[in-house]
A and B are shown apart, each in its own frame.
Chain A
Amino acid sequence: MAVSQISVFVESRPGHLKRILDLLEQCSVNVRGYSCSDTGDYGITRFVVDRPDMAMKALKEAGVAVTESQILCLKLEDDPGELARVFGVIAKLNMNVKYSYSLISTYIAVGVDDVATAEEALNNQPVEFVSQQDLQA
């Protein structure tokens, strides 16, 4: 039940990210979570949105450097130790969490090298998966 993540090439200069967000707004795409970090001259901003197909189309048409990939999206209980428990499952697989960020509420996005294996391992655990449909709600 992986979801789509949209990654965009952004330059470190005022207004660049805003332009990307304006493009999403123009096609009424709702951003449900994102991750931006300080990496120097340029960076990769990752988005989880309600309608990834629409977002990809709009960004590509505008000539933006953009790529789509699959990540896991999980809904955690809002309790101490929950994040440790979930990442513990992935650690046991001897797999790296490449990056992770939280979405709306206690939703978190998790990027790993092998989405299917991690998904299977997490399926046996008390944690709720979030689907693309859930994100549209």
Chain B
Amino acid sequence: MSESHSTIMYQPEIETLSRDEIRALQLKKLKKQVAWTYSRVDWYRQKMDEMGVSPDDIKTLEDVRKLPFTDKSVLRDTYPFGLFGVPLDEVVRLHASSGTTGKPIVVGYNNHDLDVWRDCIARLAQMAGVVPSDRVQMAFGYGMFTGGFGLHYGCEHLGCMVIPASSGNTQRQLMMINDYQSTVLVATPSYAMHICEYGEKHGFDWSKSSLRIGLFGGEPCPPALKQEIESRMHIICTDNYGLTEVMGPGVSGECLASRDMQHIAEDHFLWEIVDPKTGEPLPEGVPGELVLTPLDKQAFPVLRYRTHDLTMVTTEPCECGRTHARMKKVRTRTDDMLIIRGTNVFPSQVEDILAQIDGVSPHYRIEVDNETGLDRMVIMVELLPEAFSDSFNEMDAFRKKIAQKLKQTMLVASEVKLIEPGGIERSFGKTKHVIDKRK
């Protein structure tokens, strides 16, 4: 165990509990949480009554499987306040999902919920190496999105100087980094990349900047993109995971000893991995859909929330000394899956393949149409300046090589279109990788 990994821990008394102690704590909290939810939220009471299950049936952690799943549609159907577990007078904050499809979903927090949330954020910030003397520049959008206020109050709680820059106005972001000597940048990875490129174009020397840590969230961070940002901005980047429906960011965070995994705050969240089609539990280590039950939510309790995120979880010990289970970073959502001429395609596969090809950036866009009656997938790939050659033959061979590699893994043919360097739009929130024009 390396010293630098183990020294900083926000709540060591919780983060290093034995597995048995964690399970005992989870069971105690689960019983309480189910009773709370059953007695206060009509939807759950009716659902559980229909299923013939009562809070007293929860005797072991495995009994969580007796409870109903909650899908996003339930949150839409009960919009806006149907699932709240406290009188609205006691709610001190509302947030909403980004609402990319249909109506937004709204969640609420009372003071207790906000305390838990701050602790979760402070914990993941410390996992990434953030200390109270850090100056945290918040380049997340504020507004209804949980990321902005979540990270803001968590880092403030830790004792950092928080600079609420919000997202956008990249020139001003650079000015703030320079003038306030910010040491931590909170952003979506795609926006961090944009800040990086903008700075390089305008003569900002990242090797001399005060920044040392990037705390990313809001969208998956492909390893290739992270490495690129780390080497170009001269910072260490970690990303964390969470979703509005169960709290927001803070469900899990990356420690510096296990870079492809994130520690789940297990004292606050009970995880299950299920088969996305059948909902049946899968053994530890097998990839499947993550299902989360918050154990400390009062204003907006949800049971067994179907995240639609694909991951795997391990309870194996981590070098950092934390005992909380680790989930593999989420790269794929069960509903991101595209079906092209009968074959399942995940956008994250494209990302993985591009990361292995020299001469292209990790940025891409997929366009799908069926104008000719058959599904046609076009993958826009960003050429790097060094890969350009003054020969149509070479460029075409390069394009065909990319198409070939994509086909080998995805088992379905696509057209590759080369795009100029920087030509794929960088987003400020969720990067839209797929444009599906099929009718």
The yes or no answer to B385 lying at the interface (CB within 8 A) is yes
A46 to B165, CA, bound (A): 44
| Interface residue B201 (Cβ < 8 Å from any Cβ of A) | yes
Residue contact B422 to A9, C-beta cutoff 8 Å: no
In the bound complex, do residue B420 and residue A10 qualify as a contact, i.e. CB atoms below 8 Å apart? yes
Q: B88: shortest Cβ distance to chain A, in Å?
A: 51
Taking the nearest CB of chain B, how far is it from the CB of A74, in angstroms?
19
A67 is contacted by which of B389, B419, B420, B421 (Cβ under 8 Å)?
B389
Task: Name the interface residues of A38-89: CB closer than 8 Å to any CB of B.
Answer: 39, 41-44, 46, 60-61, 63-67, 69
Cβ of B417 and Cβ of A65 under 8 Å apart? no
Interface residues of B in 299-354 (CB under 8 A from A): none
Q: Does B180 contact A (CB under 8 A)?
A: no
A9 and B201 alpha carbons, distance in the complex (Å):
19
| A25 on interface, CB distance cutoff 8 Å | no
CA distance A133 to B159 in the complex (A): 65
A11 at the B interface (CB under 8 A) = yes
- The tally of residues in A whose CB lies under 8 Å from a CB in B reads 20
* Min distance, Cβ A69 to any Cβ of chain B, angstroms: 5
Neighbouring A residues of B422 by C-beta, 8 Å: 63
Q: Are B395 and A7 in contact (CB under 8 A)?
A: no
Q: CB of B423 within 8 A of chain A?
A: yes
- B390 near A46 (CB under 8 angstroms)? yes
CB distance from B398 to the nearest CB of A (A): 11
* Interface residues of chain A: helix, strand, loop or mixed (majority): strand
How far is A61 from B422 in the complex, measured between Cα atoms in Å?
A: 13
Known: A63-B201, A65-B383, A65-B385. A11 touches B390 (CB 8 A): no
- Partner among B201, B388, B392 whose Cβ is within 8 Å of the Cβ of A65: B388
Docked Cα-Cα span, A65 to B392, in Å, equals 14
Contacts of B158 in A (CB 8 A): none
Q: How far is the CB of A30 from chain B (nearest CB, A)?
A: 21
- Compute how far the CA of A60 lies from the CA of B388 in the bound complex, rounded to whole angstroms: 12
In the complex, what residues of B have CB within 8 A of residue A67's CB? 388-390
Which residues 414-439 of B sit at the A interface, judged by CB distance below 8 A?
A: 417-423
Give CA–CA (A9, B390) in the complex, Å: 8
Q: Which of A10, A16, A61, A65 has the most CB of B within 10 A?
A: A65
Kindly state the separation between the CA atoms of A120 and B419 in the bound complex, as whole angstroms.
39
Closest to A11 in B: B420
Residue interface bits A1-23, CB-to-B below 8 A is 1, else 0: 00001010111000010000000
Bound complex: CA A11 to CA B421 (Å): 11
Shortest CB–CB separation between residue A91 and chain B, in angstroms?
21
Residue of B nearest to A12 (CB): B417
**Residue in B197, B383, B390, B422 with the greatest tally of chain A CB atoms within 10 Å:** B390
Q: How far is the CB of B385 from chain A (nearest CB, A)?
A: 5
Residues of A within 8 Å of B395, CB to CB, are 9, 42, 44
Other contacts beyond A63-B385, A67-B390: 12, CB < 8 A: A9-B388, A11-B418, A11-B419, A11-B420, A16-B420, A41-B417, A42-B417, A43-B392, A46-B390, A63-B421, A63-B422, A65-B387
Interface residues of A (CB under 8 A from B): 5, 7, 9-11, 16, 39, 41-44, 46, 60-61, 63-67, 69
B residues apposed to A, CB below 8 Å: 197, 201, 383-385, 387-392, 395, 417-423
Nearest 4 CB-CB pairings of A with B: A65-B388, A7-B390, A65-B385, A9-B388
